[in-house]
């Protein structure tokens, strides 16, 4: 398995998710950069830049990688479209900045906020099932049930949760907050899946910091150390392979 470099800290979340999926496809197919270059219209040096977050991934490159790896391209192309849209929004924001008033009108701020929400929603839906093809696992941990029953629509941030209910259930380890096995988590993620991950990392002996459902730097360091110990790409992105190890 390729020893991947850590992705640049400034890489956008949408681009990070796309690159992580490309890396996993390549690793699962057992292809080297040279082999990718031989099977696609892109050089090995180009693939090195794409897969290490140094340069945006062209749509055709993502499509060709899916093809040579024998994977359906649809979800990968949706992730690419989301990343491309986010990149275009950032570029437009930079270009508009010198002309923008000090306090933008409410309607304009809302217009910028809505695409960001859409980006996050598509990443969750398509990123979660990309490799496994499985449907989104709805969280049915006891705390999550209570939260849903309360009628709240967002994860209640600012709280600290306990990890005292870790147990083996149906052959896997659970902390009682989430049953997820394939949802993607990375820096900036929040929610019950993050609480579950933090507890499971702690259970395996890795200090994930405060159990607050916020994927911060300390949780990322713990995830990378855990991945490295278990022979996974130490990118800090908790995906299907990392979940599998966390729950054993």
Q: What are the residues whose beta carbons fall under 8 Å from the beta carbon of 94, sequence distance 6 or more?
A: none
pLDDT at 2 exceeding the cut of 80:
no
Mean pLDDT, the chain, rounded, equals 79
Q: Tell whether 180 and 124 lie within a shared domain.
A: no
Residue 193 domain-assigned (yes or no) = yes
Choice between 124 and 209, residue whose per-residue pLDDT is larger: 209
CB-CB contact of 78 with 123 (8 Å): no
Q: What's 197's domain CATH number?
A: 1.10.101.10
Q: Per-residue pLDDT averaged across 77-96, rounded? A: 80
Q: How far apart are CA 98 and CA 225, in angstroms?
A: 42
Q: How many domains does the chain have?
A: 2
Q: Tell whether 171 and 95 lie within a shared domain.
A: no
Residue 186 domain-assigned (yes or no) = yes
Q: Tell whether 22 and 79 lie within a shared domain.
A: yes
Q: How far apart are CA 139 and CA 179, in angstroms?
A: 6
Closest C-alpha among 57, 112, 106 to residue 90: 112
Q: Tell whether 65 and 171 lie within a shared domain.
A: no
Q: Tell whether 204 and 98 lie within a shared domain.
A: no
Burial class (CB in 10 A: 0-12, 13-18, 19+), 106: exposed
Q: Tell whether 38 and 110 lie within a shared domain.
A: yes
Q: What is the DSSP letter of 190?
A: B
pLDDT at 173 exceeding the cut of 50:
yes
pLDDT at 206 exceeding the cut of 60:
yes
Q: Tell whether 17 and 120 lie within a shared domain.
A: yes
Q: Tell whether 236 and 207 lie within a shared domain.
A: yes
CB-CB contact of 19 with 11 (8 Å): yes
Residue 115 domain-assigned (yes or no) = yes
Q: What's 125's domain CATH number?
A: 1.10.260.40
**Radius of gyration, CA atoms only, the chain:** 19
Domain boundary among 105, 129, 153: 129
Please give the residue range of the domain that contains residue 62. Answer: 13-129
pLDDT, tens only, 221-244:
999 999 999 999 999 999 999 999
Q: 3-state class of 130 per DSSP?
A: coil
Which pTM was predicted? 0.46
Q: Tell whether 18 and 125 lie within a shared domain.
A: yes
The confidence score (pLDDT) of residue 193 equals 93
**Percent of the chain predicted with pLDDT > 90:** 41
CB-CB contact of 101 with 91 (8 Å): no
CB-CB contact of 213 with 155 (8 Å): yes
């Amino acid at each position: 398995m390729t020893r991947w470099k850590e992705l640049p800290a400034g890489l956008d979340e949408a681009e990070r998710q796309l690159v992580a999926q490309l890396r996993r496809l390549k690793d699962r197919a057992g292809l080297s950069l040279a082999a990718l270059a031989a099977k696609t219209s892109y050089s090995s040096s180009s693939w090195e830049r794409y897969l290490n977050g140094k340069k945006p991934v062209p749509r055709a490159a993502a499509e060709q990688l899916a093809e040579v790896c024998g994977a359906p391209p649809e979800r990968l192309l949706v992730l690419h479209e989301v990343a491309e849209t986010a990149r275009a929004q950032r570029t437009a924001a930079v270009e508009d900045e010198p002309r923008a008033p000090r306090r933008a009108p409410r309607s304009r701020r809302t217009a910028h906020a809505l695409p960001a929400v859409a980006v996050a929603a598509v990443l969750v839906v398509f990123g979660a099932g990309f490799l496994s093809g499985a449907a989104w696992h709805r969280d049915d941990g006891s705390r999550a049930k209570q939260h849903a029953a309360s009628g709240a629509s967002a994860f209640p941030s600012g709280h600290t949760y306990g990890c005292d209910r870790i147990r083996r259930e149906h052959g896997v380890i659970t902390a009682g907050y989430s049953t997820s096995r394939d949802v993607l988590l990375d820096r900036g993620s929040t929610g019950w899946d993050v609480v579950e991950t933090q507890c499971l990392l702690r259970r395996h002996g890795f200090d994930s910091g405060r159990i607050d459902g916020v994927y911060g730097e300390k949780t990322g360091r713990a995830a990378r150390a855990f991945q490295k110990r278990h022979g996974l790409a130490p990118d800090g992105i908790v995906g299907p392979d990392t979940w599998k190890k966390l729950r054993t």
